[in-house]
Structure 1
Amino acid sequence: MNTHRRRAVWSAIAIAAAALVLGIATTGLMAASGAFHRTGPTSWRAQGGARCTAPAAKGSAVDVTVWDRGHMTGGPNRPAPNHGLPGWYGMGMMRLVAHPATVPAGKVTLRVVNAGTLTHEVIVLPLSAGRTAGERAIGSDGRVSETGSLGEASRNCGSGAGEGIASGAAAWTTVTLPPGRYELVCNVPGHYAAGMYTELDVAK
């Protein structure tokens, strides 16, 4: 194995290890924050807030958690420097996690809960062959193109598009997805660059 290839292998291992550590740390911080409580299979309640209940899933259910931790600079939802590190937003982290990560083709209900402190959203975008989540071009406005969007969950305690999911609220949307690969993204300015994306695979 030549030196260049050896370096590439070690770089890949280092990136994978960093991602694992970041995932474990994020999960622990979410659990420790105490900001959000699940009160049932489809109900959530912000600490000190009202219950928000999602309807029964149509087709397969995918539970999505959006989360952030850290200090903002320059005003609400304005991106702070992330120093090129996915998942870091200023001095904190931003994450978007979906479970399960693979569902059968057909109707899929995304049930999104905002366990963070900022406003978020989830948009479903097709993922081109040979591309991976997190590779989309980011415009000068801090957002990615939504061309080809198949659905959006951004309405507090409601279905479809709205003004964003507030801290402690839930939102949902039902989409029909053929087999393929999709990317779930938060397209609030600066959030995609901060690591708010994940892949959803739809099997035959």
Structure 2
Amino acid sequence: MSAQGAFHRLLSFFAHRSPRPNTSTITFMDSLRGDLSIGLNFPVAVLLATIRHLVFRNTGFWSLTIHVPTVRTSRKLLGGPSACKGLDEDKRYGCGELVSMAKEDGVIAQADAVGLWMLAAEKDGKVKGEEVRLFQKGEIMERIAARRKGMDNVLPFWRGGPLIASAHSWAVKKAFDVEVYNGHKRA
């Protein structure tokens, strides 16, 4: 997988959400399951999955399937691993700090910084520098999905999380076979 670009690795996360995982094809349901597994509420997950499939579909005009290896992009996430020169992997960063570091790499990198912060920030509103590097390499999604397994790290509603985590968890498990927010601790 090292021959793939970071953006392709990020897309591959969604390909693994299928009951029959395929590393190169993403169906709409795989995309929806992936968005739900990172803790997003249903309407936001549907919106993002729809946008993803309209923008990246490459298997026919009416198809909502994405063939990951043939997605044409040279996009570098958050400016790429050489960007954010002042990044300390041991430090924790707020949204403003991430946007400031990405400023040099343009508006798209700044949007990536906000998106990363919205998904990866913990309760204190900070993202680990190590996770910023993982995002730049396209390897952060599994970590976020694992974090959302427990009730101790529920994504806030204003960042796309559910209104009632326990009800959301039950519904997405029953409807989509996605486990999210099922931990022992209560936040």
Give the TM-score normalised by the residue count of structure 2: 0.27
Larger % of helix: which? 2
Under a length normalisation based on structure 1, what TM-score does the superposition of the two structures give?
0.26
The structure in which a higher percent of residues are strand is 1
Q: Decide which structure has the larger Cα Rg and report it.
A: 1
